[in-house]
Amino acid sequence: MKKILSVILVLVLTLSLCSIALADTIKIGGIAPLTGPVANYGIMCREGIDLYVEEINNAGGLLGEQIELTWMDDTHDAVEAANAYNQLISSGISALFGPVTTTPTLAVAPLAAADNITMISPSATAYDVTTGNPSVFRTCFLDPFQAELLAQLSVQNLEAKKVAVLYDNTNDYSIGLYESFVKKAEELGAEVVSVEAAVENDADYTPQLTKIADTEPDAMLIAYYYESAALVLRQSQDVGLDCWMLGADGWSGIEKQLVGESVLLDKAIYCDSFSPDDDSEQAQAFVASFTAKYGKTPSGFNSLGYDTAKILLTAIENAGGVEDKQAIVDQMKATSLDCVGGHITFNDHNDPIKSAFMMGFVDGQPTLNTRIDP
């Protein structure tokens, strides 16, 4: 009988210890497009986040606890993103990485704000993502910011007198870029000679590009993500449109769509959040660790993911844990960190004050043109 009691006692103690061990984790959720037409962005952000979380866990965890990270796929769909959020909340997460693209993020942001859950999107650029959502932050700069920089680059550096735009008038990201680019270009004295709209992921942009070519612009903003932008560059050549081609951060990875066609990138420039050419200590350490893990050079979206994880986990650490939701939000607002993409703080709209990287191409490979610091 004593032996039986001893065995039972050992089992009870073992189960108790296991329960304690399982409880000693900090649960964080992640929402991203991991399949579907823009999965590349979700995968790149996830790679950066996973790397930083892995580094923290390998170093002993956060406040002595391991980070338990659960990812869900929103397929770039608002309804899927909202459903994913509700499932993650039911599982007991204390904070959220993502979503990644603008439309799903706009759907999830008010839900997180209502629950006072700290949420940080690596790359949702629309202004309204954080408007009225005090617990929602972002790591990327906004559409107006990068569009204005591209307009300044066009007029002041490329000496463009006439500019044009091709955009998707059904897409928040594309609309935001178009509106801010045109406004700033006109303020700087450029003439907007053509604005054409076409739905992204269309197969044929030649009707719009032919109209734009007839106006002979010096520079054109292509307000699409990288896959459609690559097709536009091909078809621009077909219709004889020869001018500077400009893109925002959604162009990151466009060179992979144009292998063997690098000549199409000779007059292309886009705005990004990071460059592996940046010589800062943080950037080069990230390049080394990312390359060691994934066997490739990191992109801007990889860096956004890594910085996103650093910002949120630092805020949790400074808040002393995840029990006090408001303390995490307060620590997020107080962020002042040297990150891969430069030093980051937040303004009153929970948007980052940070550097921008203007990227050109040399032999088809993204190359740092100019780093613009705040």
Residue 132 sits in the same domain as residue 226: no
Residue 105 sits in the same domain as residue 217: no
Rounded Cα gap, residues 54 and 77, in angstroms: 28
Q: Report percent pLDDT > 90 for the chain.
A: 85
Residue 59 sits in the same domain as residue 126: yes
Asked if the structure places residue 361 within a domain, the reply is no
Rounded Cα gap, residues 40 and 278, in angstroms: 23
Q: Return all residues near 351 (Cβ < 8 A) that are at least 6 apart.
A: 130, 137, 138, 141, 142
* pLDDT higher than threshold 70 for residue 11: no
User: With a threshold of 0.85, does the pTM exceed it?
Assistant: no
Rounded Cα gap, residues 206 and 148, in angstroms: 27
Last residue of a domain, one of 272, 299, 330: 272
Residue 56 sits in the same domain as residue 124: yes
- Pair of tokens at residue 13: 């103690």
* pLDDT higher than threshold 50 for residue 10: no
Asked if the structure places residue 370 within a domain, the reply is no
Place of tokens 């100019």: 370
The pLDDT, as a whole number, for residue 288 is 98
Residue 296 sits in the same domain as residue 264: no
Cα–Cα–Cα angle for 225, 231, 234, rounded to 5 degrees? 135
- Pair of tokens at residue 51: 């790397």
Q: 197: domain range?
A: 143-272
Whichever domain contains 231, its CATH number is 3.40.50.2300
Residue 69 sits in the same domain as residue 198: no
Residue 132 sits in the same domain as residue 34: yes
Residue 159 sits in the same domain as residue 198: yes
Last residue of a domain, one of 210, 237, 272: 272
Residue 163 sits in the same domain as residue 113: no
CA neighbor of 152 nearest in space, from 344, 342, 372, 343: 372
Residue 132 sits in the same domain as residue 147: no
pLDDT tens-digit readout, 83-138? 999 999 999 999 999 999 989 999 999 999 999 999 999 999 888 999 999 999 99
Banded model confidence at residue 21, pLDDT cuts 50, 70, 90: very low
Last residue of a domain, one of 253, 272, 291: 272
Asked if the structure places residue 29 within a domain, the reply is yes
Rounded Cα gap, residues 44 and 30, in angstroms: 13
Which long-range contacts (C-beta less than 8 Å, at least 24 apart) are formed by 327-330? 328/94, 328/95, 328/118, 329/116, 329/118, 329/134, 329/135
